[in-house]
Copies of this chain bind each other. A is one copy, B any other.
């Protein structure tokens, strides 16, 4: 493995191998097998457990450490681009980077631009894969298996990256029953639930009441900072943060294990202190497991061979079609096209969008809207002279209309004809609309735009960085 950015990058086998390795290391004395190697731990946000356990694990492996905790006293405060800071640490001899960053996709971005491995220690509300690994390790340790598990995730499921990653991690195992216990305002983003249900073909249960007939309560802290400032926000916070509370009385004679990514909130104590002494209290051992899991992870990425970054191959932006009686082309149009491009079979009404994304400027064009089509009842047709289309323009067309046929016309007959095809990766023409995404303009990190096509009908793209999906109607294209 090169880097660990998202738990989705791992197979069930890889996860299980890591758990076994971590459990083994838990029983052994530390061995400085990576002495001389350097860990750069770059924490742009508060953390204690995640940072200390990574640094402690590195030190058990004999590694040196550099980096910072919080951006006070760093050039980040001077507005340095993340990319520059990362390259600096690579330049100073870091062998691996552990990154926590408030922007979603920051770790993916780091892995894309660095030659050394990157471990995501939490990027905004997106992912926290090392937490998920230690969570799964704890379950394996306590229950013996992760399959056939009944688990209730409780509290802030909307912003809590730990539960987002955990759900993705659990989707690797079989017959996991999931209860999402949260008020509507704090429920889990639907695309995360959707991914889980697709992967497991099981149904997730959403509820506002603490589901008790399960193997595990996974409690989370409801964070004040998620609510608006001022009295209204305070009122909302007070109300919601009181909703879910586990104590010794509630757990009396129950086998259910209590997990928590920690810290818990001392003024509200979603888990009462009287639970700490009970066998149900898994959360203390859970935190400790983080040390050994991170040790296992570091030794894995450091042993791993660094694959060459594969050059991003440009895909054919259209699929050629046979030309039959090209002469007839354009005959039925009001205006006859001698030389230029004619785009046929555009979804009815989408012609104007096609013209918009192409940015015609002064180029003369025709636009036939809602005309009859043998194939699909109605269609739009667009034509213009003296201009042929570049690959990224063909991509843009494919993004606004599900079907389109492009005819290159020379001397009044079709010289070339084809269907636009959507490539599997969309580069630099679609904006991610997630304001916490590393690519979002206001953050001035200048990360490139990149989307993966998840499905064609209906069209769903997913941001390469923050992993938030968008549908065709949500797409915002760069202007020409």
| A364 beta carbon closer than 8 Å to chain B | no
- Mask of A251-293 contacts with B, CB within 8 angstroms, 1/0: 0000000000011111101000100000000001101100100
Q: Interface centre among A36, A47, A223, A266, by most B CB within 10 Å? A: A266
Query: Which one, A69-77, A207-215, A325-333, A401-409, is touching chain B?
Result: A69-77
| Minimum distance in angstroms from A160 CB to a CB of chain B | 13
Rounded to whole angstroms, the CA-CA distance of A43 and B33 in the bound complex is: 31
Q: Interface size of A by Cβ–Cβ distance < 8 Å?
A: 56
Rounded to whole angstroms, the CA-CA distance of A84 and B281 in the bound complex is: 13
| A78 beta carbon closer than 8 Å to chain B | yes
Q: Which residues, 31 to 76 on A, are CB-close (under 8 Å) to B?
A: 36, 38, 43, 46-49, 52-53, 55-56, 59-60, 64, 66, 68-70, 72-76
Tell me how many chains of this kind the complex includes: 3
Rounded to whole angstroms, the CA-CA distance of A217 and B479 in the bound complex is: 33
| A93 beta carbon closer than 8 Å to chain B | yes
Rounded to whole angstroms, the CA-CA distance of A53 and B74 in the bound complex is: 13
Rounded to whole angstroms, the CA-CA distance of A87 and B75 in the bound complex is: 28
Q: Which of B81, B262, B266 contacts A88 (CB 8 A)?
A: B262
| A79 beta carbon closer than 8 Å to chain B | yes
| Minimum distance in angstroms from A148 CB to a CB of chain B | 29
Rounded to whole angstroms, the CA-CA distance of A36 and B263 in the bound complex is: 28
| Minimum distance in angstroms from A60 CB to a CB of chain B | 8
Q: Is A80 touching B444 in the complex (CB atoms < 8 A)?
A: no
| A373 beta carbon closer than 8 Å to chain B | no
| A89 beta carbon closer than 8 Å to chain B | yes
| A221 beta carbon closer than 8 Å to chain B | yes
Q: Is B48 touching A55 in the complex (CB atoms < 8 A)?
A: no
| Minimum distance in angstroms from A42 CB to a CB of chain B | 10
| Minimum distance in angstroms from A265 CB to a CB of chain B | 5
Q: Within 8 Å CB of A265, what residues of B? A: 78-80
Rounded to whole angstroms, the CA-CA distance of A75 and B264 in the bound complex is: 9
Rounded to whole angstroms, the CA-CA distance of A221 and B269 in the bound complex is: 39
Q: Is B75 touching A445 in the complex (CB atoms < 8 A)?
A: no
Q: Within 8 Å CB of A317, what residues of B? A: none
Rounded to whole angstroms, the CA-CA distance of A287 and B80 in the bound complex is: 14
Which A positions have Cβ atoms within 8 angstroms of B?
Answer: 30, 36, 38, 43, 46-49, 52-53, 55-56, 59-60, 64, 66, 68-70, 72-81, 83-85, 87-89, 91-93, 221, 223, 262-267, 269, 273, 284-285, 287-288, 291, 444-446
